[in-house]
Amino acid sequence: MPFFNIYIERENMDFYQPILCSCCGKYGRYEAYIEYHVLRFFCIPLFTVKKKFFAVSTCCNNIYLIKNREKGFMIKRKQGYNVFLLEKDLEPLSENGCHGTDAAF
Ligand SMILES: [Zn+2]
């Protein structure tokens, strides 16, 4: 399928959550963005095949996948002020030299 391709589009969401970072131990905040995987035919977008929500910690730039899609959609609907992301809602994608509880052998 040489004419079809997947294009990844990123959209920042209006979200701000102050945190005491469990990774670097500093005060920071989570910001959130959404990633669309759009199937295109040449340059014409056809439809979105995948939609994923991410949170980034501003203190150490760790990226987390927001596993709780309900919360992701709430942020997307501009109800981010009602959302509080917990550690269990997030799956760390990068470690950046941090040692989370899972990584401590
Ligand atoms: Zn941090």
Is the pLDDT at 68 greater than 60? The verdict is yes
- How far is the centre of ligand 1, averaged over its atoms, from the C-alpha of 44 (Å)? 39
pLDDT attached to residue 103: 44
- How far is the centre of ligand 1, averaged over its atoms, from the C-alpha of 101 (Å)? 14
Is the pLDDT at 104 greater than 50? The verdict is no
The pLDDT tens digits for 20-54 are 998 889 999 999 999 999 999 998 999 999 999 99
- How far is the centre of ligand 1, averaged over its atoms, from the C-alpha of 100 (Å)? 11
- Residue 105 binned pLDDT confidence (cut-offs 50, 70, 90): very low
The pLDDT tens digits for 76-86 are 999 999 999 99
Contact between 22 and 96 under an 8 Å Cβ cutoff? The reply is no
